[in-house]
Amino acid sequence: TQLLEQSPQFLSIQEGENLTVYCNSSSVFSSLQWYRQEPGEGPVLLVTVVTGGEVKKLKRLTFQFGDARKDSSLHITAAQPGDTGLYLCAGETSGSRLTFGEGTQLTVNP
Amino acid sequence: DTGVSQDPRHKITKRGQNVTFRCDPISEHNRLYWYRQTLGQGPEFLTYFQNEAQLEKSRLLSDRFSAERPKGSFSTLEIQRTEQGDSAMYLCASRYPGTYGYTFGSGTRLTVV
């Protein structure tokens, strides 16, 4: 069983602060994806990382894939209330299914 | 194409009843996935199809659950003899061949009372 552990599980910060969410596993993934989910909606894909050591930036969000392709991080700079949501990492092996972490519930207070 | 559609959005049913959910994927996407998500947890894989073939089923998919994708287009997920533990959000996702990203629908929220 491939497990993805996300930390922290909950994060409440003030607008303008920086934060990092971690996603760790003992398994190697062919790709790792980050999603954001709003209440009552399905997850929405933010980014996919494929190569070990890869770094991708999406405006104020920076995603990194570990060299061994077992872990990843999401860093948000100058968080805004609109960043509030559930952030999910998901790993894929062999092009079949995604295994999700438990998620990080982020609240950014104005 | 407006994305992945799921119907109904919400379903309340009495324990022991059967329910069926429908998913319409993006038309060019040949892979279709079903996931289940309970409150405070990430989605858990249930099953997936490539075209009309069901290629993998999770152990979570007990014999009360059945999924079909008869013509390789829309899919249905049926739960027979529902139990309170079946209460969850049921998510459908589809993917274009050769790409990584999944497109999820808005889900069907099932409440078993």
**For residue A96, pLDDT beyond 80:** no
Rounded CA gap, A108 and A21, in Å?
14
- Select the residue of A90, A98, A102 nearest B41 (Cβ to Cβ): A102
pLDDT, mean over chain B: 94
Q: Determine the pLDDT at residue B40.
A: 85
A20-43 pLDDT, tens digit per residue, is 999 999 999 989 999 999 999 999
- Which residues face B66 on adjacent strands? B78
Residue A55 has pLDDT above 90, yes or no: yes
Strands B19-24 and B75-79: antiparallel
CB contact under 8 A, B41 and A45: no
Is B107 touching A (CB cutoff 8 A)? yes
pLDDT of residue A95: 58
State the pLDDT at residue A65: 96
- State what percent of residues in chain B have pLDDT above 90: 81
> Which of helix, strand or coil describes residue A10?
strand
What pLDDT, in 10s, does the model give residues A61-81? Answer: 999 999 999 999 999 999 999
3-state secondary structure of B113: coil
* Distance in Å, alpha carbon of B111 to nearest chain A alpha carbon: 13
Contact with chain A for residue B33, Cβ under 8 A: yes
Which of A2, A58, A96 is the mutation pick for testing B, counting most B CBs within 10 A?
A96
pLDDT for A2 equals 59
